[in-house]
Structure 1
Amino acid sequence: MSAVVISNQPLLRPMNGHDLVAVMEVENAAYEFPWTLPIFRDCLRVGCHCYVYESPQEGIIGHGIMSVAAGECHVLNICIHPDYQRLGLGEGMVLFLLDIARQNKARVALLEVRMSNTAAYKLYTKLGFDEVGLRKSYYPARRGREDAIILARDLTVGI
């Protein structure tokens, strides 16, 4: 007799075009200024590394997107549905993407984070990212634009 293991843990798997309606629902629930459907389609089309968290009960509850080229990875989007934030899923997604980046010979990881997103900033610095610059007026905001902090992490050393 073989054992069957049933898990309530979300599955981390590659994103596909059939996921985009659910991905948009998560994106819209989590962000005041979400990405658009064409942006997600373009990421899939051009070969970005796109992944989703899928819960057995709730369906898609988060996603992560990264590009890798010329020895660098750029973490483009990490999004976890608000009902599932603060459970370690964002950290898990970032670490997973960084592993994929290393497998693809990236030596450095880059990302931008909103000045106002202190929770994400704390997560990224906990994971070994350091401030390397600022992009003025990078993100849309309620009152015009918001600056982005540019963070980088050396992928040739552990954290």
Structure 2
Amino acid sequence: MTECRGLLRPMRPSDLDWVAEQEALAHVSPWSIGHFRDSIQAGYSCWVFVDSDTAIGYAVLMTVLDEAHLLNITVVGASRRQGWGARLLEAIASAAYDNGARQMFLEVRPSNLPARGLYEKHGFRIIGRRPGYYPGVDGQREDAIVMHRELAHE
């Protein structure tokens, strides 16, 4: 039996309620449904990641010239810690490359150690820091670590 590795499909307006619900469950300062709607309308690459017809994640990627900027990536609920984040990240990197991007950037909270480990394992390197970038709890703000990776066809 061949292992299913997940499939990217474009995010549709009919996905937005589910995506916003999952976002609220997964993040300290979640995007609103409007953020996702605006991203689709702006022409960003908005994806839902599925396995056996079950949505297990989503991502939003903005591409300008040869640069892709990963704005949001999430694996949902029970699908976490099963390798899906790595598969989703690589699928997005491949899609970005196919659309002309040759490098990818992202921001991540310093406190998000699992995400940082995933990004580093997949070739992202720290290139900077944005002080007070993320809203936090109790009115506090958290810095963002800026990461970069060259893209290649794999």
TM-score relative to the length of structure 1 = 0.87
Instruction: Determine if the alignment matches structure 1 residue 141 to structure 2 residue 105.
Output: no
Structure 1 position 32, deviation (Å):
2.0
Identity value in percent: 38
Secondary structure of 2:114's counterpart equals helix
Mean CA deviation greater in 7-16 or 36-45: 7-16
Partner of 2:40: 44
Structure 1 position 10, deviation (Å):
5.4
Alpha-carbon distance in structure 2 between the residues aligned to 1:9 and 1:96: 9
* Alignment root-mean-square deviation, CA: 2.1
Which 5+ residue runs of structure 2 have no aligned equivalent?
A: none
| 1:70-109 correspondence to structure 2 within 5 Å | 70-109=65-104
Residue among 119, 127, 143 paired with 2:122:
127
Q: How big is each residue's C-alpha offset from its partner over 1:76-99, in whole Å with a ceiling of 9 and x where there is no partner?
A: 100111211011111111111111
Residue among 18, 25, 32 paired with 2:21:
25
Counterpart of 2:84, as a letter, is L
Partner of 1:15: 11
Moved over 4 A (4+): 7-11
Alpha-carbon distance in structure 2 between the residues aligned to 1:49 and 1:11: 15
Partner of 1:117: 112
For the pair shown, which has the larger CA radius of gyration, 1 or 2? 1
Alpha-carbon distance in structure 1 between the residues aligned to 2:49 and 2:12: 12
TM-score relative to the length of structure 2 = 0.90
- Given that 1:113 and 1:149 are in contact with CA atoms closer than 8 Å, whether structure 2 keeps it comes out as yes
Which 5+ residue runs of structure 1 have no aligned equivalent?
A: none
Mean CA deviation greater in 87-96 or 120-129: 87-96
Instruction: Determine if the alignment matches structure 1 residue 69 to structure 2 residue 64.
Output: yes
- Given that 1:50 and 1:64 are in contact with CA atoms closer than 8 Å, whether structure 2 keeps it comes out as yes
